[in-house]
Chains A and B, each alone.
Chain A
Amino acid sequence: MKERNKQIYLIGVLIALVALGFVLPRGARSLLVQVMILSIFAMGYDVSLGFTNQCSLGHSVLFGAGAYAILLPILHLKAGLIVSVLFCLGGGIVFSLVTGVIAVRLSEAYFVIVTAIFSAIFHLLAVDLTWLTGGDDGLSATLPALDLGFAKWSLYDPLVNYFFALFFLVVGYLVLRRIAHSPLGKIFLAIRENEKRAEYLGYHVTRYKLIAFVISGVFTALGGGLYALSLRYTTADFFSLYWSIIPIVWCLIGGLGTLIGPCLGVLLMSLFQYYVSAWWTYYLIIFGVLILFILRVSKGGIVGFVMSRSKG
């Protein structure tokens, strides 16, 4: 019954999102596009921190890799959109495998430090390798049309852009939700709850942590790629530590391990950045206080708060 309620809400949200695409004014619509894209990143990060308790500071590497993996094929190979999205997913797999293989075997604090070091190294590399990345100036690209064979759409049409992002958000959510409810998802939770015990139940914990890290990495890269597409631009700055810390904030205020929560976190933070920053430059101070307040009231973030209310 409760599960059904949740489904009804989600379908309601989906219908609202579709409707909003048509009725919102231009500025608000492009804000919502950003929220949807960053939500994919946030959900991906949730797989790492929320599902398996791996507090990575290296996700900026995956975010940046995704951004470049999508634009570079467009720039240099004249690749179509679908191909470049595949490059982006592949880039996510490769980068999360390479960093994950080293990082996931480390225990908590060392994991955090090593992933932060990855972030620093790749940021420096990206700034330095200007022939490839454009450095701080970045690269801009002219996007090819989305060619599905039977139809051709231009992403420069704001409506197409909107539904392009919505499509990936919905698919991404469904895939991750499926995983969360599958045996694999249950193993992730067991590892989050007590790694040692999970190992003594017969699970190769390091391997499962790597699987979680790669799934997380793929969605992070997708988020980065779509973000770059929406800006038609990518910069070395996408590798900076900012993009490693911000998803932690999203997940914490929204509710760890809930998938929906991190999306709410993105929404809240983006609204703040967009509206409050207009009248006060130091809006982050208010936001910081807000985070403290939310976590003081409910350790499970917004979703945790709603769940505990609906139960009691």
Chain B
Amino acid sequence: MTSQTPILQLAGVTRNFGGLQALKDVSLRIEQGDLRGIIGPNGAGKTTLFNVITGEFKPSSGKVYLRGEDISGLPPYTICRKGLSRTFQLTRIFPEMTVYDSIWAGANSKASHPWNPVSSARHLKHIEKETLDICKLIGLEEKKDELAVNLSYGDQKVLEIAMALSTKPSVLLLDEPTQGVGGKEVDMIVEVVKKLSEKMTIVLIEHTIDVVMQVCKTVTVLTEGHVFAEGTPQEISANKEVQRVYLGEEI
């Protein structure tokens, strides 16, 4: 397994903001098909890690590889086109667009001529099919004609995931998909994540330890910008050091 090129790899990634070192020499190997949980206290650099991987920030030093290809410092839209997609901790949706159109916009970006100014968008059957498939997969089928702004917060979180999926990623980064969501909706989102993990590699930032322990195959603990521990959920919850610095506060 280690001989194979990992689908996503970080090699000594450091990111500074002025004097603050948000990420310190972070190295990660995420294999194809993994469902990796990233946990850590507030300010540990989890979201910064996502921002560096997806091109929002350039790493100050170090490299990010997608399927062995160096993607560090590329702009977000290029990285997205290479098959890496993400959601945002604070939902970033298209408020005045319907669920269908929001997902359509992502599906269209991988079409042969996304900028087509002539055809009617309604008549592009293959994009329509992809969009409807995602609506179905993610359980938003009945709400597809509603404006995104009118959805419940939980549904907006699901729409976030659906929009990330619409670009057909091979790696999906989810930034706290259950944050601020009520009990029943958490279960719904967990189900969605489980279902997706059969099809793609997922990296999941999550604050709810139960969720992480329940769904993740491997877990990375981040504290103060560096990798503190790594292993299966069982190993992590058995790790005394981790319990002390992180889990201890929670349980």
- Can you list 19 A-B contacts with CB-CB less than 8 angstroms, sorted by A residue number? A181-B120, A182-B120, A183-B124, A183-B127, A184-B115, A184-B116, A184-B117, A187-B108, A189-B101, A190-B94, A193-B94, A197-B93, A199-B80, A200-B77, A200-B80, A200-B85, A202-B77, A202-B106, A203-B77
Q: Can you name the residue of chain B whose Cβ is closest to the Cβ of A204?
A: B77
* Of the residues B97, B106, B111, B121, contact of A193 by C-beta under 8 Å: B97
- B127: which A residues are within 8 A, CB to CB? 183
What separation, in Å, do the CA atoms of A165 and B37 have in the docked complex?
Answer: 63
What separation, in Å, do the CA atoms of A194 and B96 have in the docked complex?
Answer: 10
What separation, in Å, do the CA atoms of A208 and B109 have in the docked complex?
Answer: 12
Chief secondary structure at chain A's binding surface: helix
Cβ of B118 and Cβ of A189 under 8 Å apart? Answer: no
Per the CB 8 Å criterion, the residue count for chain A at the interface is: 25
- A196: which B residues are within 8 A, CB to CB? 92
Cβ of A200 and Cβ of B105 under 8 Å apart? Answer: no
What separation, in Å, do the CA atoms of A197 and B159 have in the docked complex?
Answer: 12
Size category of the B interface is 35 or more
Besides the contacts A183-B121, A193-B93, what 18 more A-B pairs have beta carbons closer than 8 Å? A182-B119, A182-B120, A183-B115, A183-B124, A189-B94, A189-B101, A190-B97, A190-B105, A193-B97, A194-B95, A199-B75, A199-B76, A199-B77, A201-B77, A201-B106, A201-B166, A203-B77, A204-B77
A211 touches B (CB below 8 Å): yes
Residues in B lying within 8 Å of A, measured CB to CB: 54, 75-77, 80-81, 85-86, 88, 92-97, 101-102, 104-106, 108-111, 113-122, 124, 127, 163-164, 166-167
A198 touches B (CB below 8 Å): yes
A178 touches B (CB below 8 Å): yes
A179 touches B (CB below 8 Å): yes
Residue of B97, B124, B127, B164 most packed against chain A (CB within 10 A): B97
